[in-house]
Structure formats: structure tokens, C-alpha cells
Amino acid sequence: MTDPDDALARHTDYGAERMDEGDLSDDPLAQFETWLADAAGRGVYEPNAMVLGTLDSAGILQSRTVLLRAIDERGFAFYTDRQSRKGEALSANSGATLLFPWYPLHRQVIVTGTVARVSDEDSDAYWRSRPHGSRIAGTASRQSRPIASRAELEARVRELEEHYPDGVDVPRPARWGGYRLAPTRIEFWQGRTSRLHDRLVFSRVDAGGWNLQRLQP
Ligand SMILES: Cc1cc2nc3c(=O)[nH]c(=O)nc-3n(C[C@H](O)[C@H](O)[C@H](O)COP(=O)(O)O)c2cc1C
């Protein structure tokens, strides 16, 4: 077994890959898609997993992982229970961040922006694409609320499975749906040797344009 102290003391040098201004697309969303494809192609587990940071009504930062399910010029979409802890935070404060931790590639992307609900049509379309079991689970679970036992949750699942056997449509609960983060800042980080990393940040300057800046590592 690995000694946990070894993990704390390790100094990994982050390879020889580089990121120059000229290497990046002018469009940060296109650049993001290139890096997402790299992450998928180079074997990153769950490359579309991202850490969503939100602020609750008391100003306390919260974070958790969610899966990116769509990306287009409007932004980054994910799906969840809107009555969850994150849903409550997003109702109180629509500002949020998404962090993609692609450690095996020595890369990280941090996206900052404002979150809004996706349309009911988009939520319905994504709900229908989910496996039957996931739709049952999404209906059974009131995400982030306490429950007395696992048995109670599983009993609720069995009840729903009787009501909606395999092949029968499970309707989308009104509380379940998507959010889309419209980015105002996207930072690309490429690890370099001796901690002299590359950081390039796109900031939204107006409805159509982005400004690119290099930050010190
Ligand atoms: C790899 C991974 C992917 C996840 N994807 C989602 C997701 O797409 N949507 C979601 O609601 N929760 C997802 N979760 C669970 C969340 O991290 C979290 O536990 C849940 O959404 C409740 O968060 P909240 O109480 O802050 O609202 C995922 C967790 C992991 C580890």
C-alpha cells in the first residue's frame, strides 16, 4: 500500500507540453472542444466531469462534480435536480464556475459565468436520452434532502418500477432539468516543467468578442 506521506511529498514535474498564444483558436469554445476531445482521446476518465462552484445565499462557496452534457455558443449545459442544494444556491446567486481537472494531461480549464435554466424542450430531450433506470432514480431521489435509510430509497424505486416498468415512459419531474453557464471568462492552464506553467485567459469584452491575456503561473 502507498504511504499517504509519499503522496503528500511527491513533486511531479509537468512534462514538456506547451501552450502559446498562437496555438489557441480565436474562439475559446472551439478551443475548449479541442481540449475536451484531447482529454477523451488520451484516456481521461469522465473527461466531461467538471467541478461546479456556486455561492449559497449566505455567501458560502459550495462545489461538487457534475457532467457537461452540451456545449454550444450559448455555453455549457448540465442536468440536475433544481431543488437540490446547488439548485437553491443558483436561485440565490446565478454566478458560478466550472473547473475541468484533466490531471493526466497536466491541463485545467476554469470557466466563469452566469447560469440560467435551459428550456423545457432541452430538458425533455435530455431526460428522454437517459436510461430507464436513471429516470427512475431521478424521480425517486429528492436530491440533497435527508432520508432515513437506503432501504426507504430502494422501496421508492421498487414502487416506481412497478408503476413504470421497463419500456414505459417515465415522465420528467418538473424539479429535474438543465442549467447552462454562459461564460464571461475561460482560463486554459497547461502545466510546464519546474512549475513555470502557461496560463491563457479569454475574457468577454462585448457580445461578440474575447480578449486574450497571459497570466503569470
Ligand atoms: C463523476 C461525477 C459526476 C456527477 N454528475 C452529476 C450530474 O451530472 N448531475 C448531478 O446532479 N449530480 C452529479 N453528480 C453528483 C454531484 O456531485 C452531487 O453529489 C449532487 O449533484 C448533489 O449536489 P448538491 O447537494 O450540491 O446539489 C456527479 C458526481 C460525480 C462524482
Q: pLDDT digits over 133-148, tens only?
A: 999 999 999 999 999 9
pLDDT value for 146: 98
pLDDT value for 22: 95
At 30-64, the pLDDT tens digits run 999 999 999 999 999 999 999 999 999 999 999 99
pLDDT value for 3: 84
Where does the pLDDT of residue 16 fall: very low under 50, low under 70, confident under 90, or very high at 90 and above? confident
Nearest CA to 45 out of 127, 125, 100 is that of 100
Instruction: Say if ligand 1 is within 6 A of residue 62 CB.
Output: yes
pLDDT value for 1: 66
At 73-129, the pLDDT tens digits run 999 999 999 999 999 999 999 999 999 999 999 999 999 999 999 999 999 999 999
The set of cell numbers assigned to 26 is 480565436
Question: What is the CA(81)–ligand 1 centre distance, in A?
Answer: 10
Rounded distance between C-alpha atoms, residue 202 and residue 184, angstroms: 8
Sorted by where each starts, the structural domains of the chain and their CATH numbers stand as 25-129+176-215 (2.30.110.10)
Burial of 33 (0-12, 13-18, 19+ CB in 10 A): middle
Determine what percent of the chain is predicted with pLDDT higher than 70: 99
Question: DSSP assignment of 18-85, as one string?
Answer: ---GGGS-SSHHHHHHHHHHHHHHTT-SSTTEEEEEEE-TTS-EEEEEEE--EEETTEEEEEEETTSH
Phi, psi of 143 (to 5 degrees): -50, 135
Q: Which of 50-64, 161-175, 195-209 has the lowest mean pLDDT?
A: 195-209
Question: What is the CA(131)–ligand 1 centre distance, in A?
Answer: 17
Give the residue, out of 48, 66, 139, with the most ligand 1 atoms within 8 A of its beta carbon, to mutate for a pocket test.
Answer: 66
pLDDT above 70 (res 153): yes
Rounded distance between C-alpha atoms, residue 47 and residue 67, angstroms: 9
Give the residue, out of 45, 63, 67, 135, with the most ligand 1 atoms within 8 A of its beta carbon, to mutate for a pocket test.
Answer: 67
Global confidence as pTM: 0.96
